[in-house]
Structure 1
């Protein structure tokens, strides 16, 4: 029998045992409830991490109280003194005794109220937390009160101003509103107080927070200054516009380059608006002022998405300034996910971010016509650098009243920026149009009727789809994406080989619009996954008959070896696969098939453009052998690739020569050619400009540079 194990009851808590002491086992300790004071200080340490967090809570409370003026006074970075004075509704005297108790609030009564909360604060923890780690005093006066009342708090309870005095609130002289004074922050948490490196660093954080709310809160005047100084560091007026506030806080360099943007979607329940800098402005670090339901928050996903959007417009290492206020249906937002309310969760995050970034991308692309470039030469004795804008060059306008006369721009720097100036189609002979018809009206319009569905948008939380989206972002070619985002459509060059010409800057490119369309529709499929529109057939189609058309055509046009198969057997196999997976196809891709094999609808990827239904049989037939049905990620990727291929405009024979004229041209083929021409110029390429992420794969045959204006001038100069 082994000897009993020795237990050392005097081993201090928290001491790590050494390797040779592994045989020593301490007695199990009993579980006890922490003292209330300890729990309050722990909670205070989670909510008030630094002086700036205390100030954020106080600013939000002041704005919730209907204030139109906020004055902030700071001493030693807020550690010695942090005071905020507002002219809001004030606090009723009867509420002062429980003002600093935990979870006392006027904004929340039941847990269900969190689903519709629209105020800044709601948990009633801010003042309680501050009172446990600082000396807190409150002076307040309501509209109906004859005087103001001052109360001091320690540990969440009323405390006397001096020993032996009563702790009840004292009547004092004061104006309407509330003044909250926080002194000696973290006086009883010396470790936390010593962790702050410098008072100036904390003051800069406070200035940043005050500046954010000063930009956002319309109709509220803000001021912030150091204790003992006469001048204010930040001062904004209540009547100032948003741009004026940005100018006063962040400088004229930013304010002169900001552009306004707005985005909204009723299905996703959001409205977004804000101001962001154009491509003339860039700094080394992104400045993002983000407000969700008027609460200053941080979002890594939104920041990265905006930086990715600007990567195609700014030089390498350049970052923008963006002020974004996002209003989301409160029922779609969970605000109670972070102790300091620094982060929130909301539904349809990916879709909302994509919509906002697309709006910003379109705005930047439109403003890109007035970007300012500085050119410099290394040749000795050259002229000083010339600064001109695209809009001035295009219009030929110059400011004759300027004190410094502008030099005439070099011809090899002239860039056509207006798509209406001249296109290839405008230079073609009108002989191909019907007599008596204008060329602009000869294009047959789509006969489809569009209806808006009230179906709720389904957020995509599938990891496989998110990985496929990430692969597209990782494969982005920045320079090529910028070319498409700011291109000018020149015209269709070859219909049979699906080539068009576009202009990007001073360069001319040939683009395989079939290859680019394939990549674009694949990206649309990933973005709208689970939320596709639908093209409904009236009457519905018999799926077996459609598959039979494709199978018989494949057998008739294939070689003997490849075409040696039974069409009926292939049709039955593919039909069984599609019917078996019809629920998944309907839920994810809006491809609706009935139990008895009737094709009801196919996905709609782009409004205003209908794919060739002549390609429908082959598309459905290829879904059998060319989709990896056994693996989720491969299934989605291969299906979307097949869907994108179906949506690519079909190849058509070239237009007949002038000697053939229209009488020898099939009417249906002519109409389809005109439809494709209209779709390519007025639907597809504007869509590419708005949201295409050009991947590196497009560099291999998708786009070819055919002319460079400056290079051509060098050739002509030698002639």
Structure 2
């Protein structure tokens, strides 16, 4: 009992000293230099955290050495054995004594070289760090050497392989290149070695790392396998292209859904090329392969920004695959910010990421492939499943609906654990024949699309695209993105066109999922052409007039129309003064109009060209006089941002398809025919032709374009109305 009392009476580990306590302070400890062995082990622990970090350093050294073939051998997740063999230029025998000393490198001579570093490694710490926490041996042979040389290292120094032998490198037979063998990693750091839970987990990290460099390093073959296995865990041939390398590493499902894109910007000094998955690929987690100046790095900011870009294209919970190779001017990059070189810092990060994400969004919008839906099969066998996965169909590919598709039969599952309800099945296929194609009225012969203008000829120029650097345009683009409605954008991007309901009110029907919508395509086109004006700003094509048209004459025509529409109030306006004022405004600003909008006006006041926003579609030129007249009072020429915004809005309104009168109904035609009015049976030939062209243009040009690149804004909600829902219809029929 007394012993327990003695224990309890011991003072606690920490005591709280009050301000007024006169306790004697301990004497200050003297500062002294750490032992060099401790310094080296601390440095090694910062650089080599796990076997995968050691392998990363060795792979980068091998690629820097000009290797075209890398063979990697792993045992116990790299803790027992980690060996890499390359066919690079090798190491000179004279350099072996200092090979594993700290800060010995052939890639850096002065501190200023860091501003133009172009290799993976540069500090000369990798092999030194490994030699302090593992048994390291190097076998190397240069092209000029007659034999290979083998050296063993410990704590950064050459050591003898066996007691009593010389520590000098000894000659052996070997092929050109270098083989580095790392054994018993962390043998002298037991606390870190115990932290690794399983060898298979470490091996998976190694395969992931090798896969990154196998994708990026074109012209280099990679092979990685476990010690004792006859087959490789990963093998990529030297001749494989990037897509084939992605297929070898990440699988066919990813490789078949890739989109290539490139972008660059001289102001921010970067170039970017990459391969990204399209909207058909969706995974449970994001796969990011990011290389900055050919260095594999991680960036939470880039990853999050790209994921947000994909949010409008992928279903909820879906994640993309993307591989980005970003080349930035070396003086803008600081590579020396992380011991393992896992991170780098570079200037203008936000601007560069924004440009890359815009290009990704544009590239995804241009992809014209169908999504995967569930389609109902009509089979004679009552035991057959009613829902089978529909094979993906690229537009333009003929469908074989009359013959069985053996490829689908083979890939279909033998058993279905959960039968989908019929009210959830989407019965659409964008490439299938439509009901309207079976009608005699307005049917294009043999799938022929009616051209907008038969006399139009296209001329292509070698003009380089203009990079828009105006803050006003960037702000207008940002406003569109901020005003985006995600659900409506998803509906537009995946819709199936049903048909035009009313040419006068400009209403069309589309199907999105299991719902049917009526869309005001006038509003839809207005927003689409406004966004085209922003994205293609200063890079428009041109519709040229031959011969040129007089702006003054066109403005007089528009003024007469306005005068008739104004009625009694027309007398209060001096229309001649309005015409002269607008005419003078347009002539004075012809340089601005030509530079940014491809709208050329001569000094004499003739209009030579107007902007071309969509190939294959010419707006109704009957609206041209009104368009020119509105450029005077409805465009704010005093402020840059407001000027561009108001002009593009007027241009978009000009491009909106015209409103046509309703077609004569069959009932009215029969009644009029019975009264002897034969003229009522036939619609005016010109209006009939315009109606055919309009229907063809809307179905085959405008709606596919909106599907590919329109960002549906919240304002478009006024022009979209849901009229039918398959689930709701099933509930109605169930009550009958």
The TM-score, its normalising length taken from structure 1, stands at 0.71
Could you list the per-position Cα deviations for residues 498-524 of structure 1 after superposition, in whole angstroms to 9, with x for gaps in the alignment?
111111122111111111111111111
Q: How far apart, CA to CA, are the structure 2 residues paired with 1:681 and 1:518? A: 16
Task: Tell whether the 8 Å contact from 2:516 to 2:724 is kept in structure 1 after alignment.
Answer: yes
Query: How does 1:549-564 map onto structure 2 within 5 Å?
Result: 549-561=557-569, 564=572
Q: How far apart, CA to CA, are the structure 2 residues paired with 1:83 and 1:677? A: 67
Query: Who is 2:689 aligned against?
Result: 671
2:733 matched to 1:716?
A: yes
Question: Structure 1 residues 404, 549: closer, same or farther in 2, change over 3 A?
Answer: same
SS of 1:630's equivalent in the other structure is coil
Q: How far apart, CA to CA, are the structure 1 residues paired with 2:194 and 2:600? A: 63
Q: How far apart, CA to CA, are the structure 1 residues paired with 2:118 and 2:225? A: 25
Greater displacement, 125-134 / 308-317: 125-134
Could you list the per-position Cα deviations for residues 202-230 of structure 1 after superposition, in whole angstroms to 9, with x for gaps in the alignment?
987665432312344566223277xxx86
Query: Who is 1:368 aligned against?
Result: 371
Query: Who is 1:690 aligned against?
Result: 708
Q: How far apart, CA to CA, are the structure 1 residues paired with 2:417 and 2:409? A: 8
SS of 2:508's equivalent in the other structure is strand
Q: How far apart, CA to CA, are the structure 1 residues paired with 2:181 and 2:603? A: 71
Question: Structure 1 residues 301, 409: closer, same or farther in 2, change over 3 A?
Answer: closer
Q: Using the TM superposition, give the Cα deviation of residue 692 of structure 1 relative to its aligned residue in structure 2, in angstroms.
A: 1.3
2:541 matched to 1:533?
A: yes
Unaligned runs of 5+ in 1: 1-36, 115-120, 374-384
2:495 matched to 1:487?
A: yes
SS of 1:502's equivalent in the other structure is strand
Task: Tell whether the 8 Å contact from 2:247 to 2:254 is kept in structure 1 after alignment.
Answer: no
2:648 matched to 1:640?
A: yes
Task: Tell whether the 8 Å contact from 2:387 to 2:420 is kept in structure 1 after alignment.
Answer: no
Question: Structure 1 residues 221, 441: closer, same or farther in 2, change over 3 A?
Answer: closer
**Cα RMSD, aligned residues only:** 5.3
Question: Structure 1 residues 139, 408: closer, same or farther in 2, change over 3 A?
Answer: closer
SS of 1:592's equivalent in the other structure is coil
Query: How does 1:369-518 map onto structure 2 within 5 Å?
Result: 369-370=372-373, 388-390=388-390, 399=409, 403-404=414-415, 411-419=422-430, 421-423=432-434, 425-430=436-441, 440=448, 445-518=453-526
How many residues are matched?
638
Q: How far apart, CA to CA, are the structure 2 residues paired with 1:454 and 1:316? A: 42
Task: Tell whether the 8 Å contact from 1:502 to 1:508 is kept in structure 2 after alignment.
Answer: yes
2:642 matched to 1:628?
A: no
Q: How far apart, CA to CA, are the structure 2 residues paired with 1:422 and 1:274? A: 33
Q: How far apart, CA to CA, are the structure 1 residues paired with 2:717 and 2:305? A: 24
Q: How far apart, CA to CA, are the structure 2 residues paired with 1:48 and 1:336? A: 24
Q: 2:233 aligns with which of 225, 232, 235?
A: 235
2:271 matched to 1:260?
A: no
Q: How far apart, CA to CA, are the structure 2 residues paired with 1:196 and 1:544? A: 85
Which has the higher Rg, Structure 1 or Structure 2?
2
Q: Using the TM superposition, give the Cα deviation of residue 416 of structure 1 relative to its aligned residue in structure 2, in angstroms.
A: 2.8
Q: Using the TM superposition, give the Cα deviation of residue 236 of structure 1 relative to its aligned residue in structure 2, in angstroms.
A: 0.8
Question: Structure 1 residues 605, 292: closer, same or farther in 2, change over 3 A?
Answer: farther
Question: Structure 1 residues 178, 672: closer, same or farther in 2, change over 3 A?
Answer: same
Q: How far apart, CA to CA, are the structure 2 residues paired with 1:94 and 1:662? A: 102
Task: Tell whether the 8 Å contact from 2:530 to 2:651 is kept in structure 1 after alignment.
Answer: yes
Question: Structure 1 residues 199, 371: closer, same or farther in 2, change over 3 A?
Answer: farther
Query: How does 1:136-147 map onto structure 2 within 5 Å?
Result: 139-147=139-147
SS of 2:236's equivalent in the other structure is coil
SS of 1:593's equivalent in the other structure is coil
Query: Who is 1:566 aligned against?
Result: 574
Task: Tell whether the 8 Å contact from 1:394 to 1:415 is kept in structure 2 after alignment.
Answer: no
Query: How does 1:61-100 map onto structure 2 within 5 Å?
Result: 61-63=61-63, 65-71=66-72, 84-91=84-91
Q: How far apart, CA to CA, are the structure 1 residues paired with 2:504 and 2:104? A: 74
Task: Tell whether the 8 Å contact from 2:555 to 2:629 is kept in structure 1 after alignment.
Answer: yes
Q: Using the TM superposition, give the Cα deviation of residue 649 of structure 1 relative to its aligned residue in structure 2, in angstroms.
A: 0.9
Task: Tell whether the 8 Å contact from 1:96 to 1:169 is kept in structure 2 after alignment.
Answer: yes
Question: Structure 1 residues 442, 223: closer, same or farther in 2, change over 3 A?
Answer: closer
Query: Who is 2:277 aligned against?
Result: 276
Query: Who is 1:212 aligned against?
Result: 212
Task: Tell whether the 8 Å contact from 1:102 to 1:125 is kept in structure 2 after alignment.
Answer: no
Question: Structure 1 residues 585, 663: closer, same or farther in 2, change over 3 A?
Answer: same
Could you list the per-position Cα deviations for residues 433-483 of structure 1 after superposition, in whole angstroms to 9, with x for gaps in the alignment?
89xx88957666543222232222222233332222222222222222121
Q: Using the TM superposition, give the Cα deviation of residue 103 of structure 1 relative to its aligned residue in structure 2, in angstroms.
A: 8.3
Q: How far apart, CA to CA, are the structure 2 residues paired with 1:182 and 1:627? A: 72
